[in-house]
A = this chain, B = another copy of it.
Amino acid sequence: MRRLKANSMSKGGTSIQDVAREAKVSIATVSRVLNQPDLVTAETAGRVRDAIKLLGYVPNAYAQGLSRRHGKVLGIVLPDIYGEFYSELLRGADGEARRLGFHLLVSSDAHDHGSPTRTENLAFGLIDGLALMMTEPNMELWRETLDAALPTVVLDADINEPGVDSVVVDNAMGTHEAAEHLLEKTPASNCFFVGGPRENFDTAQRAEEFRKALIAKGHAVKEDQFAFGEYSVDWGRRWAADRIKSGGLKNAAVLAGNDEIALGIMQAAQDAGVGVPKDLRIVGFDDTRIATIVRPALSAVRVPLLDIGAAVVRLLVERVGNSEKPATREKLPTKLIVRESSRV
């Protein structure tokens, strides 16, 4: 294999050596100018900085990582990068990461079946911390692979691994608010919960809280008031269509597991001539931007996606800086936003 020209990394391939030569100092001094400027004379530092500018020198991150035993890179693995939900999460994470001087290595889990691939393995040698959001089934697989030495924070899952931080949302809070809001004008027997997958952590919590609220009203809950499917518009549509066909939807209300489901329900209702909110009141979950775009505007429990992303990164960085820190579980508030789709 042909040997590359001596200096041929990206960025022109100028190395610390070149800078040192140009500034007539040792490489140690150059390094110090960059990392501990107070250890070097103003005059020398000036010369070095000039050389750096002149040569367009950028430190080689690999060499730094090797020498320092860590880089400034965080990995974030999501079930899929898809739609407003994840993009908002990512946005929050990106902002915080940038603020803290870290980079984000993003990867979605959708392409293989949840088991870390060669690619992931490479990443493990590269990242200083890992943010993980996964659907339940895969969690087990990852647990085997995960390394106790790699700072990890898990999103939206009931993980109780020692040394693994987690960020969750206070599902009870928003759900309770939403339930109260719906029950205020709609009889408990006409209230429905249409969630995502039954095994999903959030869906489970939301359903449970909703159930409690119904019971608190002194209502004997019927099982068909709860439905579980997937986090998709289509599932919402199907549920509503079925429901309309079988029993009709009059003076009813529904809390959906996320905005997409809510939208599907709204759509199917409208298509079938069921008035929203007149006949059917709908509340979504997450409060993604789309909630304000559709007509009628969708009421929704707001989940602070941006904050979640930021919190994840913050926790990770804290742990990277101090591996002794005990595991934290951060819980972020949720809150009902009432719009037309549920207003009576």
A interface list, Cβ under 8 A from B: 4, 8-13, 56, 58-66, 69-73, 80-84, 86-88, 90-91, 94-95, 98-99, 101-108, 110-111, 117-119, 121-128, 147-150, 233, 260, 263, 267, 270-271, 289-290, 292-295
Q: List 11 A-B contacts (CB under 8 A).
A: A10-B125, A10-B147, A11-B150, A58-B121, A59-B125, A65-B65, A82-B87, A83-B87, A94-B107, A98-B108, A102-B119
A271 to B: closest C-beta gap in Å = 8
A91 to B: closest C-beta gap in Å = 5
Cα–Cα distance between A150 and B83 once the two chains are bound (Å): 31
**B62 touching A126, Cβ below 8 Å:** yes
By a CB distance below 8 angstroms, the chain B residues around A88 are 82
**B293 touching A11, Cβ below 8 Å:** no
**A103 touching B91, Cβ below 8 Å:** no
By a CB distance below 8 angstroms, the chain B residues around A56 are 147
Cα–Cα distance between A247 and B3 once the two chains are bound (Å): 71
Across the two chains, which residue of chain B brings its CB closest to A68? B62
By a CB distance below 8 angstroms, the chain B residues around A123 are 61, 103
**A128 touching B10, Cβ below 8 Å:** yes
By a CB distance below 8 angstroms, the chain B residues around A271 are 295
Across the two chains, which residue of chain B brings its CB closest to A87? B87
A304 to B: closest C-beta gap in Å = 16
Q: A81-B90, A94-B107 are in contact. List 4 more A-B contacts (CB 8 A).
A: A9-B125, A61-B65, A101-B118, A293-B294
Q: With A12-B147, A267-B293 as given contacts, are A125 and B91 in contact (CB-CB < 8 Å)?
A: no
**A91 touching B82, Cβ below 8 Å:** yes
Contact of A125 among B64, B82, B105 (CB under 8 A): B64
A32 to B: closest C-beta gap in Å = 14
Cα–Cα distance between A63 and B105 once the two chains are bound (Å): 18
A322 to B: closest C-beta gap in Å = 14
**B290 touching A69, Cβ below 8 Å:** no
**A72 touching B147, Cβ below 8 Å:** no
A159 to B: closest C-beta gap in Å = 19
